[in-house]
């Protein structure tokens, strides 16, 4: 294939070979091949409608481009970028008519268009991968619907919760992530093509029709902005970053809960690794990598912001840096979502261990305080009283529900035998019965609601 540059006319000297390589984006932007061909086919129709090329020429261009699409991209080409690759191949295939395709177009509006087309699909793929992870969480919750674990604040045992409630907390985070992708898509789905290099096109390109042809919802209103706007990349990376925050928190919980110290979860061999030295080890590398890769995605976001900061209008080559950041974040997040789904399908629960942990550590202390409140004591006083009960229980090495009534009554005469009913694990759980609480009936409803929302392919659209 010809290595002729798209911009050679003004040049008499050759590019320094090292610089030429440095300048190339083909090694990574060939990922845009398919959308570049699609956008060019639509553009050829726009040129035809504008009377810039004849119907005969337009169909020649289209057939050439369709054939290129079928041939696929040649990864070994030495083209400068994917746009040069497609155009050079077109000229090779159909001759001089191919050279008319770029009329009134610049790689500046072309690359912005391609990247938005690519991202539209990437957002849909991500949405599907998140939904998959949500499904795995719901299935895990349903399969372990009776399991109770300690809930933590400050990583100290706080109040018992259903394991399903914990799963649904992550389900909610992922639901917001999916909504964000839908909202981002709306701003991605705007057509830059027809803005040309920076000032707009001087050919009568009907941009509205071109937008419809390519499935864009609207047309970029300002040509300078259209070619230099990479907000959509920042939004994409920011959505990915927040998603990674959520996955890393889930990963951390799983890592902790699978440790011998907690011991609530057991990771199957399919998602664990061993140690080259310590024969007894089984390590949660899967979740550690998800946790670790969050940093890499944040890096892409911060890198993108730094690249864009103070860039003068309009296009600058700095912006070529957008692609590797976005592609890498997309691949990383996709991989993390897949592994997370796999992990959730390969975790088993040590129910007994979880139950023991959930019923010890004075996590029913609040229930005792609430009990006193119901007997007429102001909450502040009840809190104080129960604090001293806990101190005594620690001394006696007993849980609150194991303390004899005579001991409890030393702290308040309002305590009676009915206190033992409110101190059970079940009572503790089921008292949290308002919307959003961990009571069994609420969680069963929440699981059903989660199932329902999984049936929607694009939440909030």
- Give the active site residue among 54, 218, 268, 275: 275
Nearest distance from residue 209's CB to ligand ARG, in Å? 24
Nearest distance from residue 10's CB to ligand ARG, in Å? 13
- Give the active site residue among 154, 260, 276, 406: 154
165 contributes a contact to ligand ARG by CB under 6 A: no
60 contributes a contact to ligand ARG by CB under 6 A: no
Rank residues 5 and 383 by Cβ distance to ligand ARG and give the closer one: 5
320 contributes a contact to ligand ARG by CB under 6 A: yes
Only segment of 12-20, 317-325, 353-361, 421-429 that touches ligand ARG (CB under 6 A): 317-325
319 contributes a contact to ligand ARG by CB under 6 A: yes
195 contributes a contact to ligand ARG by CB under 6 A: no
Of 335, 253, 321, 328, the C-alpha closest to 289 is 335
107 contributes a contact to ligand ARG by CB under 6 A: yes
196 contributes a contact to ligand ARG by CB under 6 A: no
372 contributes a contact to ligand ARG by CB under 6 A: no
238 contributes a contact to ligand ARG by CB under 6 A: no
Rank residues 144 and 228 by Cβ distance to ligand ARG and give the closer one: 228
111 contributes a contact to ligand ARG by CB under 6 A: yes
30 contributes a contact to ligand ARG by CB under 6 A: no
401 is catalytic: no
Rank residues 81 and 367 by Cβ distance to ligand ARG and give the closer one: 81
Nearest distance from residue 213's CB to ligand ARG, in Å? 22
Nearest distance from residue 317's CB to ligand ARG, in Å? 6
One of 36, 48, 81, 213 touching ligand ARG (CB under 6 A):
81
Nearest distance from residue 331's CB to ligand ARG, in Å? 18
> Three-class SS string for the chain?
CCCCCCCHHHCCCCCCHHHHHHHCCHHHHHHHHHHHHHHHHHHHHHHHHCCCCCHHHHHHHHHHHHHHHHHCCCCCCCCCCHHHHHHHHHHHHHHHHHHHCCCCCCHHHHHHHHHHHHHHHHHHHHHHHHHHHHHHHHHHHHHCCCCEEEEEECCEEEEEEEHHHHHHHHHHHHHHHHHHHHHHHHHHCEECCCCCCCCCCCCCCCHHHHHHHCCCCEECCCHHHHHHCCHHHHHHHHHHHHHHHHHHHHHHHHHHHCCCCCCCEEECHHHCECCCCCCCCCECHHHHHHHHHHHHHHHHHHHHHHHHCCCCCCCCHHHHHHHHHHHHHHHHHHHHHHHHHHHHCCEEECHHHHHHHHCCCCCCHHHHHHHHHHCCCCHHHHHHHHHHHHHHHHHHCCCHHHCCHHHHHCCCCCCCCCHHHHCCHHHHHHCCCCCCCCCHHHHHHHHHHHHHHHCCCCCCC
Rank residues 28 and 203 by Cβ distance to ligand ARG and give the closer one: 28
108 contributes a contact to ligand ARG by CB under 6 A: yes
275 is catalytic: yes
Nearest distance from residue 198's CB to ligand ARG, in Å? 9
* Contact residues for ligand ARG, defined by CB under 6 A: 25, 29, 81, 107-108, 111, 315, 317, 319-320
Residues forming the active site: 154, 275
């Amino acid at each position: 294939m010809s290595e002729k540059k798209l911009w050679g006319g003004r040049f008499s000297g050759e590019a320094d070979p090292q610089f030429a390589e440095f300048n190339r984006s083909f090694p990574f932007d060939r990922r845009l091949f398919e959308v570049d061909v699609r956008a060019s086919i639509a553009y050829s129709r726009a040129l035809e409608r504008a009377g810039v090329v004849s119907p005969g020429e337009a169909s020649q261009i289209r057939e050439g481009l369709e054939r290129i699409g079928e041939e696929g991209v040649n990864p070994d080409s030495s083209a400068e970028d994917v746009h040069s690759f497609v155009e050079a191949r077109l000229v090779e295939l159909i001759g001089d008519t191919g050279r008319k395709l770029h009329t009134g177009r610049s790689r500046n509006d072309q690359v912005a268009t391609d990247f938005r087309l690519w991202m539209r699909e990437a957002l849909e793929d991500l949405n599907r991968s998140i939904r998959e992870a949500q499904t795995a969480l719901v299935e895990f919750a349903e399969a372990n619907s009776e399991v109770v674990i300690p809930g933590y604040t400050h990583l100290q045992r706080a109040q018992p919760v259903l394991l399903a409630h914990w799963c649904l907390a992550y389900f909610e985070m992922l639901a917001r992530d999916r909504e964000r992708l839908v909202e981002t898509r709306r701003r991605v789905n705007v057509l830059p093509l027809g803005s040309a290099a920076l000032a707009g096109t001087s050919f009568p390109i009907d941009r509205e029709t071109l937008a419809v042809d390519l499935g864009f919802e609207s047309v970029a209103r300002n040509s300078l902005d259209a070619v230099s706007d990479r907000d959509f990349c920042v939004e994409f990376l920011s959505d990915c970053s927040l998603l990674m925050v959520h996955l890393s928190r889930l990963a951390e919980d799983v890592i902790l809960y699978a440790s011998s110290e907690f011991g609530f979860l057991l990771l199957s061999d399919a998602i664990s690794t061993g140690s080259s030295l310590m024969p007894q080890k089984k390590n949660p590398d899967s979740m550690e990598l998800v946790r670790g890769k969050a940093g890499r995605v944040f890096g892409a976001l911060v890198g993108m912001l730094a690249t864009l900061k103070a860039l003068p209008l309009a296009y600058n080559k700095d912006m070529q840096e957008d692609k590797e950041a976005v592609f890498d974040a997309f691949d990383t997040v996709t991989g993390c979502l897949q592994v997370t789904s796999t992990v959730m399908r390969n975790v088993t629960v040590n129910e007994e261990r979880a139950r023991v942990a959930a019923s010890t550590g004075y996590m029913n202390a609040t229930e005792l305080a609430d009990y006193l409140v119901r007997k007429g004591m102001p909450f502040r006083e009840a809190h104080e009283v129960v604090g001293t009960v806990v101190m005594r229980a620690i001394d006696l090495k007993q849980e609150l529900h194991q303390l004899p009534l005579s001991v409890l009554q030393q702290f308040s005469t309002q305590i009676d035998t009915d206190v033992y009913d409110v101190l059970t694990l079940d009572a503790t759980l089921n008292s949290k019965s308002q919307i959003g609480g961990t009571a069994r009936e609420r969680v069963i409803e929440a699981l059903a609601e989660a199932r329902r929302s999984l049936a929607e392919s694009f939440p909030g659209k």
